[in-house]
Amino acid sequence: MTGLLHDTLDERAGSMPSSSFDAQQVIDDGRRRVRRRRLVAGLATLSVAGVLGAGAVVGPGLPDAAPRPNDRTATGGPAFPDRRIGYAEGSTIHWGTQAFDVGTRVASYVQTDDGFVWTARTGDVFFFDGTRSVPAGRSETGRLRTDDTGSVVAWLDLAEDGTPEYVVYDTDLPGVTDRIEQPTILGPAQEGDARYWDNGAQVYAVDDGSIYWRGADADLVRYDLGTSTETVLLDGAGIGHPGDGPDVPIEILDVAGGRIAYRTDGSAGPSTWVGTSLDPARSVRMPTGTDGHLSPDGGRLVVEQDDAAALYDTSTGAALPFAPRGYAFAVGFGWEDDSSVTAVGIKDLSTDPYDVDFLRCGPEGGCTVAGSERVPADDGERIVTPTGDPAT
């Protein structure tokens, strides 16, 4: 039984008298939830796929109040300075009012000031500058991480001997600037192993010249690009099995403005925290959420839990206005700026295909529809959003 089906059974069983409990209905509900999560996994990874040298503008994308040209020589600055709400369907990436067909279906992508770094389903990584795609390397997991501004992207590759290797790529060059080998477990350890909560080598976040990843011996590490030095934020030996004890950090969710959003586990179950370190005693626990995205300044966190989204002040944990009204399912996947959340919403979960709205939610909590797509419930990988996580 999948974890999602198990959770659904628990929820339904706990809320119904035994005489009215319909096991088949529960299983059907669970399967629908699995499909929705697959959809959002896709909708949480804007992917740009491409054929080398291809980059045709195919027409208008999402509405945007102030479109800018993409020609660096015309603007005298970065080609893609704004973080606009967008998504990609197949080989076409939508960015504000513009759309680019780069030729091949993608698995994941992120935006930088210079364009988009994306992975193909083969794991190959490319950089698209608005005109053409150039090879950038290979990602073992398809997962990409970048900052809210700037040109640095990081991912995990494998060296020739199979050792995990973190790759740092600068789209301003463009090219690879660093390769750092890390003898870290690549893949989840088995239950009963001291590293059960070590989910392998991976990059968690990029923020203000630092990259956060899992280092040697499962340590959670901050790597300073300027000095090429590592700071251990959490000793991996202390992770072990946190489920029966106090809250123990096990995963970094996001980093922005020097603040770290991370997940803990303990006797009370998983929790999400935000602080300047991985110390729950010096961090703020968010009321809900097992995943989240920080605003560029780190002051807000949009989270998702049980098919619902919420927004919190990271300094206090207080709930902030965030109301995608009329949606049976809604989840935030990023930010346009420090106060505007980008989200996806589905009004009716009983239909197939789903009518999916892409939402722009302002500081007062209200949301407007920036674009819509019809997505088959079993093909959530077709559309992805710019989080850098693979849709597959």
Confidence at residue 2, expressed as pLDDT on a 0 to 100 scale: 24
What is the β-pairing status of strands 300-305 and 308-313?
antiparallel
Hey, which residues does 170 pair with through a beta bridge? Answer: 152, 175
> How far apart, in Å, do the first and last CA atoms of the chain sit?
20
Closest Cα to residue 389, out of 329, 334, 328? 334
* CB-based contact 168:156 (threshold 8 Å): no
| Structure tokens, 63 | 């509405």
Confidence at residue 320, expressed as pLDDT on a 0 to 100 scale: 93
- Taking the alpha carbons of 58, 109, 111, 347 in that order, is the dihedral positive or negative? positive
Burial (CB < 10 A; 0-12, 13-18, 19+), residue 204, is buried
d(CA 27, CA 29): 5
Residue 251 phi, psi (nearest 5):
-160, 135
Distance of CA 54 to the CA centre of its chain: 26
Cα-based angle 324, 329, 334 (whole degrees, multiple of 5): 65
d(CA 90, CA 117): 16
Distance of CA 325 to the CA centre of its chain: 23
Q: Around 340, how many Cα atoms within 13 Å sit in the side-chain half-sphere?
A: 13
Residue position matching structure tokens 């961090």? 283
Low-confidence ranges of the chain (pLDDT < 50): 1-38, 41-42, 44-75, 186-198, 241-243
Hey, which residues does 50 pair with through a beta bridge? Answer: 103
Amino acid sitting at position 42? G
Angstrom CA distances, 5 to 2, 300, 301, 317, stand at 5, 31, 27, 30
pTM of the model: 0.78
Contacts of 150 (CB under 8 A, 6+ apart): 112, 113
3-state percent breakdown (helix, strand, coil) of the chain, nearest 5: 15, 40, 45
Rg, the chain, Cα only: 21
Closest Cα to residue 142, out of 110, 113, 176, 170? 110
DSSP H or E segment with residue 271: strand 271-275
Q: What is the DSSP string of 162-222?
A: S-EEEEEEETTTTEEEEEEE-----SPPPTTSTTTT---S-EEEEETTEEEEE-GGG-EEE
Angle between helices 23-43 and 3-15 (to 10 degrees): 130
Residue position matching structure tokens 């529960």? 26
| Structure tokens, 287 | 């009321």
Q: What is the DSSP letter of 103?
A: B
Contacts of 126 (CB under 8 A, 6+ apart): 50, 52, 117, 118, 119, 120, 133, 134, 135, 136
Is 29 in a helix, a strand, or coil? helix
